[in-house]
Amino acid sequence: MKIISFVLALLCLPILSSAQKIKRKLVFADEFNYTGLPDSTKWGYEKGFVRDGEPQYYTEKRLKNCHVDNGLLVIEGIREQYPNPDYKAGSDRREQKQEFAPYTSASINTHGKYSWQYGRIEVRAKVPGGKGTWPAFWMLGDTHYNIGWPRCGEIDIMEYLGRDSTQVHATVHYADSLGKHQQQGIAKMVGNPADGFHIYAVDWDDKGMVFYYDDLKYFTFSYAGMKKADINVFKKKFYLLINLALGSARDWGGPQDDTILPAKYYIDYVRVYQ
């Protein structure tokens, strides 16, 4: 018995050493244990018709679309006639030609406040169900407003489409040597993500990324597989975004089912470990 115990103890040593090597420190967190608007020292806003094809207008510092209460951040997609402050009669620009937005929602981010190079980035959240809902938890390179997308890089830790109610999506976007958009990702069938709170996370280092749904490791991305592209794009700092987009026939979300609105995206916490 003593010999067996000694052998078992030796076998355990490398396991303990591996666990110690991956021990990380919490470097950022919002547990949302307050009331009102999101903490302005951590979060800013996207505003307006931000991405082509999406019908919602992202409002800024509007409690109706984004507030913290009962320990949760709530982002709410609403059907309403919302006056577009950028409206200009006769304009062909999308952000100006609509006098009223048919939907409102919110998109918050840490740009200019916090960004990170590597680590484990995770959220515990409950996504809204119903066709047209399109919540996301993702990252953009700090160079986004300097060199543009996709050259800045994009890490989609979680996207969920209400029209594909059993799947979650993890995707990495970047540019090839000619500046053309490239992407690698996966849609993983996991059950019903809208049934409750789940953890969505990425482990990110100088070799690649591993994506998780709760304890399920479902997508691995290696920089070695980036053909004709600068792998250094993912070796720089990225900032976080949390948003709830709504769908249309022109975008990936698909046609919006107005009967399921308002749609609420609940976030329990956001944590970054390094």
- Catalytic (active-site) positions: 154, 159
* DSSP-assigned states of every residue in 140-162: EETTHHHH-TTTT-EEEEEE--T
Rg (CA), the chain: 21
Which DSSP category does 176 fall into?
B
Residues 6+ apart with CB under 8 A from 272: 26, 27, 28, 29, 114, 116, 119, 120, 121, 122, 240
Q: How far is Cα 170 from Cα 162, in angstroms, rounded to an integer? A: 15
Tokens linked to 84: 């577009």
| Torsion on CA atoms 240, 242, 248, 254, rounded to nearest 10 | 90
For 141, other C-beta atoms within 10 Å of its C-beta total 23
Residues 6+ apart with CB under 8 A from 165: 129, 192, 193, 194
Q: How far is Cα 24 from Cα 18, in angstroms, rounded to an integer? A: 12
